[in-house]
């Protein structure tokens, strides 16, 4: 079965500090990968998605970037965090059949 | 502009009652997903609906899809407290690999 490992579970960072969140995928090859952000009590906002190594599509202009250096690795980064970057970040993946979108356990980011 | 709207946003219901959550979307899609999220947790997959007229049931939950009406429903039968959670629908935009999520329905089942 497909599994997404995402870490850390909780992160507290000062404004202006850098960010690196990583997720890795097991159980499928060549997955499509996604980063979503969820503000408190709100829905999921698609930030980035990737259909292959080095291929990144950005959905929302913002202070974040994404990279996919390996087939099963997806990284979310920022050079300087803003207060508005706080939220629950979820990495997700789907296999080539696209019959399921599966999620990691999420990272709760608080920017202070 | 693509919209995936759920109705209602909040739902408080008594145990044993039935209710339906609606998911309307504004784009062409033949794939719709339902998820459950508990507070502070990630999303748990409930149903994947892959064609017009698809109906799936698991326990007290039943989901259906009408792609022509661009409507999916999540029906709750004889609700129990353990069903209290936030429920999301998600649509894959046809011809892309993008999944757009609905606004969510926060369900509270009262004993």
**B101 to A34: CB separation less than 8 angstroms, yes or no:** no
Q: What is the pLDDT along chain A (112 residues), one digit of tens a residue?
A: 889 999 999 999 999 999 999 999 998 889 999 999 998 888 999 999 999 999 999 988 678 999 999 999 999 999 999 999 999 999 999 986 767 889 999 999 999 9
The half-sphere exposure of A47 on its side-chain side, counting CA atoms within 13 A, is 25
Question: By the CB < 8 Å criterion, does B43 face chain A?
Answer: yes
Q: Which tokens is B94 given?
A: 């046809």
| Gap between the Cα atoms of B109 and B111, Å rounded | 7
What are B88-104's pLDDT values in tens digits? 999 988 888 889 999 99
* Closest of B30, B18, B35 to residue B105, by C-alpha: B35
Residue in this structure with the two tokens 């429920």, named with its chain if needed: B87
Q: Is residue A87 within a helix (H) or strand (E), and if so which, with residue range?
A: strand A87-94
* Closest of A66, A83, A80 to residue A19, by C-alpha: A80
CB pairs under 8 A between A and B: 48
Cβ distance B102 to B86 under 8 Å?
no
DSSP 3-state of B81: helix
């Amino acid at each position: 079965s497909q599994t997404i490992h995402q870490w850390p579970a909780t992160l507290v960072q000062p404004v202006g500090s850098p960010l690196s969140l990583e997720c890795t995928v097991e159980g499928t090859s060549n997955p499509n990968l996604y980063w979503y952000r969820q503000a408190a009590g709100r829905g999921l906002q698609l930030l980035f998605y990737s259909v292959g190594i080095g291929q990144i599509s950005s959905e929302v202009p913002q202070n974040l970037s994404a990279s996919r250096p390996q087939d099963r690795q997806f990284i979310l980064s920022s050079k300087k965090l803003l207060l508005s970057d706080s939220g629950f970040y979820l990495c997700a993946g789907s296999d080539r059949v696209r019959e399921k979108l599966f999620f990691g356990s999420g990272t709760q980011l608080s920017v202070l | 502009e693509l919209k995936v709207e759920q109705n209602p946003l909040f739902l408080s219901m008594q145990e044993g009652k039935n209710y339906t959550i609606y998911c309307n979307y504004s784009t062409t899609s033949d794939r719709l997903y339902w998820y459950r999220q508990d507070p502070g947790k990630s999303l748990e997959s409930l149903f994947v609906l892959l064609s017009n007229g698809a109906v799936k049931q698991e326990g007290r939950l039943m989901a259906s899809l009408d792609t022509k009406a661009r409507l999916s429903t999540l029906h709750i039968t004889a609700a129990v407290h353990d069903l209290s959670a936030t429920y999301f629908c998600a649509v894959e935009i046809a011809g892309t690999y993008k999944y757009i999520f609905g606004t969510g329905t926060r369900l509270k089942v009262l004993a």
